Structure 1
Amino acid sequence: MRIGEAASRAGVSTKAVRYYESLGLVTAPRLANGYRDYDEAQVRRIGEIRGLVRLGIPAEQTRPFLDCLDSGQAAGDDCPASLDTYRAAIADLDLRVVELAERRETLAARLAEATARSAPRCLFTPTEEIP
């Protein structure tokens, strides 16, 4: 099948498929007319990459899952290396959650300080609409 159909069946854009190819994650032989010829196995690989990217795992880090599929496993995460990738992604998320919580705390503190400083300066509080 051509790239457009493969991309559509996997739920990605043709640009994403070309990107995955540039990373060496997907391969498709070329027909005599130069078109790529994708098979079901490549569509499955593209779908696996798409699912992992949606979870926040960069396409560049999906190789263990694809290798697991290539080894004949039913799922890309049936291998220890895939589980290690999950663990690393979770650790990264945990770190980002902590960083975001710290940023939120700092912003809230600054807002409270700025509000406290500016409250006495606000002398005019309209009680009626001004025409």
Structure 2
Amino acid sequence: MRIGELAHLTGVSTRLLRYYEEQGLLQPARTSAGYREYGEEDTVRVWQIRSLLAAGLSTRVIAELLPCATGPMPVLEACPNLVATLRGELADLDARIDDLTRSRRALSRYLAATNQPSEKQAA
């Protein structure tokens, strides 16, 4: 199938499919005229990529994990470094959540302080 058909089947734009190819996540065959040709397995691959992106993984990490992926959800099979990679990503995410939580508290304090009537207004 051509790129437009894959885009239609997966709901992903052709521009994004080309980006996935640039990142090494998709490797379509090429016709003699240079057109991209995708197989049915590429539909599943795009769903895998979208699912892993939704989990907050970068395309760099996804490229490492795709060989371990089976099925459209995907299920990740045991591969070398899989657990270490996922634990590292989870630790990074936890650190970002901690940073955001601190920022949220600080902003909440600023907001609370601005909602307090000043002494001049109260008089």
TM class by smaller structure = 0.7 to 0.9
Let me know the Cα RMSD of the aligned residues. Answer: 2.3
Aligned to 2:78: 79
Tell me, in whole angstroms, the C-alpha distance in 1 between the residues paired with 2:34 and 2:65.
29
Q: Which moved more, 1:96-105 or 1:78-87?
A: 78-87
Q: Larger deviation: 88-97 or 50-59?
A: 88-97
Instruction: State how far apart, in whole Å, the 2-side matches of 1:77 and 1:17 are.
Output: 22
Per the alignment, residue 8 of structure 2 pairs with 8
Structure 1 window deviating more from structure 2 (107-116 vs 26-35): it is: 107-116
**CA contact under 8 A between 1:77 and 1:83: conserved in structure 2?**
no
Q: How far is the alpha carbon of 1:90 from its aligned partner?
A: 1.8
Tell me, in whole angstroms, the C-alpha distance in 2 between the residues paired with 1:52 and 1:35.
27
Q: Counterpart in 1 of 2:121?
A: 122
1:103 offset after TM fit, Å? 0.7
The 5 A counterparts of 1:79-118 are 79-80=78-79, 81-116=81-116, 118=117
Change beyond 3 A, Cα 1:9–1:68: same
Post-superposition shift, 1:84? 3.1
TM-score, normalized by length of structure 2? 0.80
Mind listing any 5+ residue stretches in structure 2 that lack a counterpart? none
- For residues 89 and 10 of structure 1, the distance between their equivalents in structure 2, rounded to whole angstroms, comes to 26
Hey, which of these two has a bigger chunk of strand by percent?
2
Q: Secondary structure at the match of 1:83?
A: helix
C-alpha distance 82-17 of structure 1, shift in aligned 2 (>3 A):
farther
Q: Normalized against structure 1, the TM-score is what?
A: 0.76
Unaligned runs of 5+ in 1: 125-131
- Residue 23 of structure 1: how far off its partner (Å): 1.2
1:56 aligns with 2:40: no
Task: Report if aligned partners of 2:24, 2:63 keep a CA contact under 8 Å in 1.
Answer: no
| Aligned-partner residue type, residue 89 of structure 1 | E
What CA distance in whole angstroms lies between the structure 2 residues aligned with 1:16 and 1:76?
Answer: 23
Structure 2 CA distance for aligned equivalents of residues 31 and 57 of structure 1: 32
Query: What is the SS of the residue equivalent to 1:24?
Result: coil
